[in-house]
Structure 1
Amino acid sequence: MRTTALADHHFAGEVTGFDAASAASEEIDELRSLLHRHRVLVLRDQALDPARYQRFMEHFGRPVPHVLQNLTVPGFPAILTISDYIKPDGTPSGVLDGGAYWHADMSYLPDVGIATSLYALRAAGRSGGTAFADLSPALDLVRSRPDLLRLLGCATADELLALDVVHRFGNRRALRDETAAEQTLSRAQHDQLPGTRHRLFETHPVTGRPGLFAPAGSAMSIAGLSADDSDRALDALEEFVLKELPAYTHRYRPGDLVIWDNMSTLHRGTGVAATRDIESSRVLHRINVNITR
């Protein structure tokens, strides 16, 4: 197994010479360590059926089924289908855009420590990708910006670690801009997700390091600030970190297995457009796992 940095980015790593279907326990232990070192891993040339795929990801943690159970793989409620293919009858074959706004997966749930994997069964040249931002340098950057501290309501940098953020399923920016991307839910699905609170800077459950957690997407408001002040602060924070932090965009090819740590990254789908041509479409299988269990 060999790991190399992708492009000029120190965080995302490409893993070659690794077979997820037959990996030994010591190889999987090494891969888990690599995930926390790189935050995003790209495993090339994998061949996995749903059962093998789920068994492999269970080495990283307990699978967490998505609320969109109508788009999961039959018999595998923890595997969500992401696809841009529209069937002849006009119905989608999976989640179309995979979240075309910056977010961290399942940050609207009470538990922290969610990792995501996407396995590409089919991908074409026109298929969309996934953009990532590395949040690991964010704490030091924000501490050095008095203007951001004031917007966040902090008199000192130490107060950052005490800030709470209210999270709910969805995209904060869509509340003010009808053109902003957002995954919609049925009323029954929405009622399953009442929301939660997290620290703005959460302690990573594996590494023990504090880091900026999910400042975009499901981050709806900062506890203790007015709605307007909270919007200004979160918007400024999101724009600052996305401008300053390292980024990487992955373009899928068949057999790619991409795994990332949502405690240390933001991501969004890019370049996704619906198609009725199955040959030019993509199919990705997604699994979320809780790395603390």
Structure 2
Amino acid sequence: MTVTHAGPATVLREARIPQDGMYEGRRTLRRLPEGREERPYERFGVVPQARTIGAEIKGVDLARPLGTELREELNRALLEWKVLFFRAQHLTSDQQRAFAGHWGELETNPLLATGSTEDVVRFDKRDSAAPTYENVWHADVTFRERPALGAVLQVREVPPFGGDTMWADMAAAYDDLPQEVKDRIEGARAVHDFIPGFARFYGPERLIPHQDRFPPVEHPVVRTHPETGRRMLFVNTSFTTHITEMARDESDRLLRYLFQQAHVPEFQVRFRWQPGDIAFWDNRATQHYAVNDYGSERRVAERVAIAGDRPC
């Protein structure tokens, strides 16, 4: 594009308009589903951490059993904020599992199981036997027919600096797509496979035994949230390999564009951990990224995941 001005010869050199989707001007940042009104929370305090995603919950002791009303209000907060933070809880593994169990059956993952039970995953980068599952935007286990509903992560030991975790709101990411892109992915399906996500950590001898248990699966590129009805992007760099019924080069270009939406800062929240903190996120509506910027310092975390439903 060349712009000229009348009068004395003044020519503005060619300006390239971004084509990668990283800048679209003013963004639509809608936290709630369309038509849903804000309502106050009665059983705890809520401190927003970003415009559409992430809230700290105050006044709840997760070590105590949740009553029906508290559980329902926490679920509403989860649906509205997508990731909830609870400071200084210091739960035992059993207490952490009990809290997560209020949302459904706990999920086991033979590729990750490292904790005190099959459904507890322990992350400790100083443990030479444990790979570093960091530095990539992803949603958990989308290679399953029924990916996880959500996850509860507790950090037990933190480095003196760094080691934050980030989450991206994939409903806001979908809202801000250009209409021509929305039209192009309407009804599209994509293949998800565990091998691309885990091949950077494990060799064939570790992956081959799981191929029959976890064959590639298809999910919609845009899924509808089963509780809110919100539409969300449902592709990620770890496990989404290609869009079906599309030439591979075209699929690759489109997926690169869609993957980039998780990188937009306006769709993100970033959490700085302290020992005993808990994060509880909706895996259906978010992607997350563990920031590996703490070198040889120690960071120890435990996660339990909640089994989910088939995306539609």
Range class of TM-score, shorter chain: 0.7 to 0.9
**Matched residues, number:** 263
Distance in 2 (CA, whole Å) between partners of 1:139 and 1:243 is 12
Partner of residue 174, structure 2: 139
* Aligned residue in 2 for 1:208: 229
**Of 219, 227, 240, which residue of structure 1 is paired with 2:248?**
227
Percent of residue pairs identical:
25
Q: Is 2:128 aligned against 1:107?
A: no
3-state SS of the aligned residue for 2:288? strand
Q: Does 1:184 align with 2:219?
A: no
Is 2:291 aligned against 1:249? no
TM-score, normalised by the number of residues in structure 2: 0.76
Report the equivalent of 1:152: none
Which of 117, 121, 140 is matched with 1:80 structurally?
Answer: 121
Q: 1:5 offset after TM fit, Å?
A: 0.6
* CA–CA separation in structure 2 for the residues paired with 1:136 and 1:198: 16
- Identify unmatched segments of 5+ residues in structure 2: 1-43
In the other structure, the counterpart of 1:178 is none
The CA distance in 1 between the partners of 2:191 and 2:309, in whole Å, is 22
Matches within 5 A, 1:141-290: 141-144=176-179, 146=180, 149=181, 157-158=182-183, 160-171=185-196, 182-184=200-202, 186=206, 187-243=208-264, 245-272=266-293, 275=296, 280-290=297-307
Cα distance in 2, alignment partners of residues 292 and 219 from structure 1: 18
Q: Tell me the secondary structure at the aligned position of residue 210 of structure 2.
A: helix
Structure 1 gap segments, 5+ residues each: 150-156, 175-180
Q: Counterpart of 1:136 in 2: which secondary structure?
A: helix
- Superposed CA deviations along residues 40-88 of structure 1, whole A, max 9, x for unmatched, are 111111021111111110001211111225x4223x11000011113xx
Tell me, in whole angstroms, the C-alpha distance in 2 between the residues paired with 1:228 and 1:159: 15
- The residue identity in structure 2 corresponding to 1:136 is A
Q: Output the CA distance in 1 between the equivalents of 2:78 and 2:254.
A: 30
Find the aligned partners of 2:226 and 2:274 in 1 and give their Cα distance.
Answer: 32
1:228 aligned counterpart, secondary structure:
helix
Residue of structure 1 in register with 2:132 after alignment: 97
Q: Residues 248 and 283 from structure 1, CA distance in 2 versus in 1: closer, same or farther, beyond 3 angstroms? A: same
CA distance in 2, matches of 1:237, 1:159: 12
Q: Measure how far apart 1:256 and its partner are.
A: 0.6
Mapped partners of 1:44, 1:244: distance in 2:
24
Moved more, 15-24 or 257-266: 15-24
Letter of the aligned partner of 1:207 in structure 2? T
TM-fit CA distance, 1:222:
0.3
Tell me how far apart the structure 2 counterparts of residues 241 and 50 of structure 1 sit (CA, whole Å).
31
How far off is 1:224 after superposition?
A: 0.8
CA RMSD in angstroms, aligned pairs only: 2.4
Aligned partner of 2:22 in structure 1 is none
Q: Tell me the distance in 1 between the aligned counterparts of 2:191 and 2:266.
A: 24
Query: Per-residue deviation at 1:106?
Result: 0.8
Highest Rg: 1 or 2?
2
